[in-house]
Structure 1
Amino acid sequence: MSLSRRELLRSAVLIPAAGALAACATPAGTAPSASAPAAGVKSAANPLGIAEDKPFELVIFDGGLGDKYFTDIHQPVFAKNHAKVQIKHTATKEIAKTLQPRFAAGNPPEIVHNSGANAMDLGALAQDGQMFDLTPLLDAPSWDDPKVKVRDTISAAALEVGSFDGKFSVLPYTQGVYGIWYSRKVFEENGWQADPKTWDEFVALCETIKKSGKMAPFTYAGKHPQYMYEPMLTHAAKIGGIEVLKNIDNLADGAWTQEAVIASATGWAEVGAKYLMQGTAGLDHVQTQTAQNKYKVAMLPCGVWLENEQKSSTPEGFDYAVFPLPDMTGSDAMPYGTVHAKPGENFFISAKSANPLGGAEFLRAMLAKEAASKFVQMVNVPSVVKGATDGLQLTPGLTSATKMLSAAGDNTTFYRFREWYLPMHDELAAATGQLMNGKLTVAQWSERMNKKAADLKSDSSVKKYSRA
């Protein structure tokens, strides 16, 4: 028989050589429940009642953040209360490829830092009951103050983004903020406008840089086109309002032919046709970012982790900075300064792991203010922990991003389909890459995405999520 995406997740993709899982998928909307782990003796230092003689495992995405934050910050903070607990940790750039066989075999690690281009499908994991309910963590006393619950120490946005059907299952640890990154040194030396307020000014900036002959105006991670669909969707929300992205997230009919979506895609396709660095399509994120460090290209879209990811190749005095997307029309629904700001770098606990409570206690330690503040200092990325940046001396890029986020206020956007419907992300990344390289028209791109959304909407094996 033919297999749906969810069935593939449970069978062909996940089945180890030794055997197979059930032939049919769990019906959409239900999930096999894992027996709740029994807590041990609870105390002020151990409010979740974890076993001090029981080890647990953590698998970290080896990307822009590396794993030094675990060995040098989080593990020592955790050890203050749980010195005897043994932790095994590994790092990989291929989260899904590495862990899918283990989930199928029933021996997943306790903690997964689910990030990167090969992240696991959170929507499918939630549907299958593979993620531990973190509500006990939220209701536990915080690491720093027993009178304050964990839920009150993190941002409301983190609580929203980490919830699936009202159940908090994923801890997004960083406060993501996205924009157009550049070298302040380069722009000041050349007299280039670093904060174009309108689309016409942005296009004029691209033209000026192109005519200078010094470097290409723009690039993005060609092999990972989600770096490009991010500003495209943010611009769509800016033009038409946040409802534009809610319609996309909710698989609304015709969501990809909304006027704001078409306008944004048209504008960015123009940039792709005229101002991209040669060879962009064949380069990954590190290669394009390194090209910027080598003064081969002026601007690229990225998240706030960029500065830390490039620290080994960034020349002295480069002075990273970021600006928000310009107004694209004369009547954008959201003002200049609107940014895509979404908590990210997701951590979840495997419900079927041997020691999920141990993993949850480690997340509680990660949310200690000491752990969060030192994390921010090490990786130059904001945390969802309230007050984590208080009193810190920030790097140029993080200072710029923090100011941009502060100026945005409530004018922020984000989308959730990437966690809910990973195939939508895959299709959009592929289609956007083709759009930017002239292999699809805007109409073809839009039609392709509408079809993908309709296919997901009609697939009864796919759990549907809703954003109000």
Structure 2
Amino acid sequence: MNLEPQLRPYPTRRTVLKTAATAALAVPLLSACVTSGTKDSGGGTEQGEKTTDNPLGVKTDAPLEVVVFKGGYGDDYAIKAETQYTQHYPKAKVDHKGLQKVGEAMQPRFVAGNPPDVVDNTGAGRLDIATLVSAGQAGDLTDLLDAPAFDVPGKKVRETLLPGVVDDGTFGGSTVALNFTYTVWGVWFSKPFFEAKGWTYPKTWAEMLALCETIKKAGVAPWTYQGKYPEYINDPLLSMAAKVGGKDLIKAVDNLEPGAWKQDGLVQAATAFAELAGKNYLMSGSEALSHTEAQAAWCQKKAAFIPCGSWLESEQKGVAPAGFDMVMGAVPALTASDKQPVAAVQAASSESFLVPSKAKNQAGGKEYLRMLFSKASATEFAKANSTLPAVAGATDGLTLSSGLGSVRDAVVAAGDNTFTYRFRTWYAPLAKAVDDATGELVNKRISPADWSTRIQKAADALAKDATVTKYTR
């Protein structure tokens, strides 16, 4: 059994590539087996008495080892939580490691059965969470979620998290990961640029196409995208499909149901983005651009729109000119009968923290996460990183930048109408097949029907593969 890196580092592409010397980071295939074959946890040997002040039963003098991905967010936020931990448990020694290649460093330790107590399993080389779960290497976090929130009286930890955060870390009914940041996907533009031109962000796809024609006539490319990574433009396509077909469409896709990728909503969304390409509304040469190159061109106002997740503003610090004031809009509605409102947004949590099942100090690891996911900790993170944390209310009362403010507003406007696909996390090969097909679609090499057929074939093959653990929602 190979422990492969996830092929789609999704929002964490930002953190890895921001610190890499090149725009594309080659991730070596990790080849060792995750486990010797047993699923017995063998962990949690350090355990103390559970009390009101110590709800998880931390052994107060037990050492705690924390491994954090040191990417675009750095690791100061994690260190602050460690300081909080030592203030509460002064006899405990905390061993902190800030790493770039978490998977490469941690895989041998998981194999040997001596993992750290907490792992921030993030970055392009991170361990495949589905494989860890299948091997019984990721500890269940239910007792943490049901513990009292660290600084929100009267609430459990689970009750302080934004919609979907618990589900994002749940596999087969067991929550094994807790994600610290909250990512929202949409279409970005410069608010002052649009105001100066008299352009209004469209609410429908028909309005989008009409505006694209106006933008094109003004000598600006309507859209660009991060062509070397077609998942970026795949995100608004799948968001549009989810709005058309609703959450039943998403469920069918994630559950590998027969014909799921043939659903009208998906074919219609693919047709819409094929039209975007067919009318030459994509900036010439976008296919060859890395994420940094495409985003730089957009910041230079060579293109009006760019699809991206909510990390974009943080990533473009030092690149976007003064007064650019980028904001994110929800993907426009495709039809008048869409099953989800135009304000609905694709949102999911990331920056994934685990407490390994074989960790010696599981109670300490969970207590550390209780402190990390406190409202005060999340607020400080938001201030430092212009990024929305996964803790509800963390940005209340803060003066936010244009980008982060628009993301927060989008989440508020969406309310319960946030959604996400799970197939990316569950089945990395299918995610790659989808992204590759979308890259071909928007470069006019395959039709929407071919796109649908090609992906359905990959999904069917995966569904029939008995060696792959299947998940449902």
Matched, 1:160 2:167: yes
| 1:392-403 alignment runs, 5 A limit | 392-403=398-409
Tell me, in whole angstroms, the C-alpha distance in 2 between the residues paired with 1:172 and 1:161: 8
Structure 2 CA distance, aligned partners of 1:278 and 1:357? Answer: 54
Choose the corresponding residue for 1:365, options 371, 393, 398: 371
What is aligned with 2:204?
A: 198
Q: How far is the alpha carbon of 1:44 from its aligned partner?
A: 4.8
Name the aligned partner's letter for residue 33 of structure 1: D
Asked if 1:85 is matched to 2:93, the reply is yes
1:256 to 245, 261, 265: 261
Alignment coverage as a number of residue pairs? 447
2:458 aligned partner = 452
Residue 431 of structure 1 deviates from its aligned partner by 1.9
**Is 1:421 equivalent to 2:430 in the alignment?**
no
Root-mean-square deviation (CA), in Å? 2.6
Deviation track 1:216-239 (CA, whole Å, cap 9, x = no partner) reads 221222222222221111100111
Q: Is the 8 A contact 2:142 2:174 kept in 1?
A: yes
- 8 Å contact from structure 2 (residues 225, 306) kept in 1: yes
Q: Match of 1:277, SS?
A: coil
Could you tell me how far 1:363 is from its partner in structure 2? 0.8
What is residue 236 of structure 1 aligned with on the other side? 241
Tell me the residue number matched to 1:52: 61
2:2 counterpart of 1:8: yes
State how far apart, in whole Å, the 2-side matches of 1:200 and 1:381 are.
Answer: 31
- 1:15–1:105: 8 Å Cα contact kept in structure 2? no
1:40-189 paired onto structure 2 within 5 Å: 40-48=48-56, 49-60=58-69, 62-63=71-72, 65-71=73-79, 73-83=80-90, 84-92=92-100, 94-144=101-151, 148-189=155-196
**Are 1:183 and 1:321, in contact at CA under 8 Å, matched by a contact in 2?**
yes
Cα distance, 1:264 vs structure 2: 0.3
Which amino acid letter does the alignment assign opposite residue 366 of structure 2? A
1:107 Cα deviation from its structure 2 partner: 4.2
- 1:351 and 1:208, CA in 2 relative to 1: closer, same or farther beyond 3 A? same
Q: TM-score, normalization: structure 1? A: 0.88
Q: Any idea what SS the aligned residue of 1:80 has?
A: helix
- Write the distance in 2 (CA, Å) between the matches of 1:155 and 1:104: 33
- Residue 343 of structure 1 aligns to a residue whose secondary structure is strand
Structure 1 residues 403 and 74: alpha-carbon distance in aligned structure 2, compared to 1, 3 A threshold = same
Matched-pair contact (CA < 8 Å) for 2:424–2:430 = yes
**Deviation per CA, 1:191-228, whole angstroms, max 9, x where unpaired?**
222x2022121112222222222x42212222222222
Shift of residue 116, structure 1, vs aligned partner: 4.3
CA distance in 2: counterparts of 1:332 and 1:449, whole angstroms:
23
- Is contact 2:226-2:289 (8 Å) kept? yes
Partner of 2:3, secondary structure, is helix
1:51 Cα deviation from its structure 2 partner: 4.8
Please give the residue correspondences for 1:428-443 in structure 2 after superposition, counting only pairs within 5 Å.
428-443=434-449
CA gap of 1:95–1:280, structure 2 versus 1, over 3 A, is farther
Alignment of 1:314-333 (within 5 A): 314-333=320-339
Would the alpha carbon gap of residues 306 and 77 (structure 1) be closer, same or farther in structure 2, given more than 3 Å must change?
A: farther
Task: Provide the C-alpha distance between the structure 2 equivalents of 1:101 and 1:433, rounded to a whole number of angstroms.
Answer: 35
Secondary structure in 2 matching 1:151: helix
Q: Does 1:410 align with 2:410?
A: no
Deviations 1:400-441 (A, max 9, x none): 122222222222221111111122112212222222222332
Cα distance between partner residues in 2 of 1:438 and 1:99: 42
> What's the secondary structure of 2:186's corresponding residue?
strand
Q: Distance in 2 between matches of 1:109 and 1:205?
A: 52
Shift of 1:41: 4.1
> How much has 1:256 moved relative to structure 2?
0.7
| Letter of the structure 1 residue corresponding to residue 427 of structure 2 | Y
Name stretches of at least 5 consecutive residues in structure 2 with no aligned partner: 5-27
Q: Percent identity?
A: 40
Q: For 1:344, what is the secondary structure of its paired residue? A: strand
